[in-house]
Amino acid sequence: MRRPEMSRRSLIRSLAGGSILLPGILSELLAAEPAAGERSADGPLAAKQPHFPARAKRVIMVFATGGVSHIDTFDPKSSAKGRDGSGKDKLMGSVFPYSANKRCGTEVSDLFPHLREAMDDICLIRSMKSAHFDHTEAAVGMHTGSPTFARPSIGSWLSYGLGTVNQNLPSFMVIAPHLPYGGTQVYASDFLPAYHQGTRVIPGEQPIENLAPRTPSSKIQEMELGLAAALNRGHLQSRGDDSHLAARIKSFETAFQMQTSGPEAFDLQQEDDRTLERYGLKRGETKSFAWQCLAARRLAERGVRFIELVDSGSRPNWDSHGNIEEHRPLAKASDQPLAALIRDLKDRGMFDETLIVWATEFGRTPAKEGKNGRGHHGKCFSVWLAGGGVKRGFVYGASDEIGQEIAQDPVDVHDLHATILHLMGIDHTRLTWRHQGRDFRLTDVHGRVLRPLLA
């Protein structure tokens, strides 16, 4: 006769009844232990209703760390010659040839031929400004709204505000072969509960390490973790509001579920040859930016709320002080995969409910630096959005004739964040967290929704 498998509750009962030391403790814990199949929807990451009907269900943010030259990519200028206001540095127009998308007329340099063909699906902002010209401060500011003080990342805010639709995967994931300027602060939760921080994935054969179970039987492991969870909950109750302990407990639960969901989500071998070819990805390759983009689509399909891709290329990333030609291999690595991500989402009926945001911390100077490079430039640069409720083939704002200053419709990071939250169904003035005696929000006391961008 086959012996019935022991459930988690049965294990706790057996321990409570068979030990002279544990019955009192475990019996109390049993009352708080959910029965089998009762995975509650009331957990800290449970899906929540937005403030109003959302245009988008999820965000894929691409962050090109290092400072991409707007003049040489999405806001090309003629080969201006002369001197800047200081009378010292020679001006340098777009180094690369450029042309317009035939359907919408948006000009893009030859660094991004595939994205140029996709510009009729893209909403381009050419009047972005940064609060800082230093890499770390500008990168952190782009993610958190604050270049000088530690604040939660936008991904953490959306995890807090909306939760996740898949309890088996983190709500906020960051695919980063190298950390951007600002390090882990760009995906930190800061004063929000720690389970809202981003989970970093490093492209490779094992994107998330240590997912393989230690025990041969999933039932045994589930019982072990069930007992640990019961004990942890009792410990948490005695300690009051301890977000780090609560996050640690939640991480055990998520890690257990990810043992099957995680490897499957990152198993790109399941994709057909046509899809791999579209992204420019060789079968078996695991470390390219194309891998990041296709993995992002798979995570989006599986309900991850906020996915960030850090486009760092090989060192020194997009920080081209000495020679702007360094942009060429970086653009080549990201151009086709990004355009493929847009087309892939469209083919799968996901484009209109997925907001793609491409950003960098600042642009680069119209004046030459070094032999053929450019310096940091926060006064004016470009970002773009696609899908998720924004206009297609639309350009918002403009820079002056050399790309030095904003000539029309300035946009700061608070405006960008307010607009992203709005597209996700969140009123940026109402998404708050009480900390140190006052209510904080992603946009601080600033921000306006860029309504001309909305479809």
Phi, psi dihedrals of residue 92, rounded to the nearest 5°? -140, 110
- Model confidence over 14-37: pLDDT tens digits? 444 444 444 444 444 444 444 333
Q: How far apart are CA 341 and CA 295, in angstroms?
A: 10
Which of 128, 90, 103, 176 lies closest to 408 in space, CA to CA?
A: 128
Angle between helices 8-18 and 218-239 (to 10 degrees): 70
User: Which positions ≥6 away from 321 have C-beta within 8 Å?
Assistant: 369, 370, 373, 374, 375
pLDDT at 234 > cutoff 50 = yes
pLDDT at 408 > cutoff 90 = yes
How do the domains of the chain map onto residue ranges? 58-208+272-453, 211-265
Q: How far apart are CA 335 and CA 289, in angstroms?
A: 10
- Model confidence over 180-199: pLDDT tens digits? 999 999 999 999 988 899 99
Buried (b) or exposed (e) across 234-250, using 16+ Cβ within 10 A?
eeeeeeeeebeebbebb
Phi, psi dihedrals of residue 259, rounded to the nearest 5°? -60, -30
Here the tokens at position 144 are 């958190």
pLDDT at residue number 21: 42
Q: How far apart are CA 401 and CA 91, in angstroms?
A: 11
Q: What stretches of 110-191 adopt beta strand conformation (E)?
A: 122-128, 172-175
pLDDT at 157 > cutoff 90 = yes
pLDDT at residue number 242: 60
- Model confidence over 298-345: pLDDT tens digits? 999 999 999 999 998 766 799 999 999 999 999 999 999 999 999 999
Q: What is the pTM of this model?
A: 0.84
pLDDT at residue number 27: 46
Q: Could you tell me if 360 and 367 are in contact, meaning their C-beta atoms sit under 8 angstroms apart?
A: no
Which of 259, 241, 334 lies closest to 292 in space, CA to CA?
A: 334
The DSSP annotation for 176-229 comes to: -SS--TTGGGGG--TTS-GGGSPEEE--SS-SSTT-S-SSS-HHHHHHHHHHHH
Write down the architecture of domain 58-208+272-453 according to CATH. Answer: 3-Layer(aba) Sandwich (3.40)
In a 10 Å sphere around its CB, with 0-12 CB exposed, 13-18 middle and 19+ buried, how is residue 416 labelled? buried
Q: Could you tell me if 56 and 79 are in contact, meaning their C-beta atoms sit under 8 angstroms apart?
A: no
pLDDT at residue number 83: 46
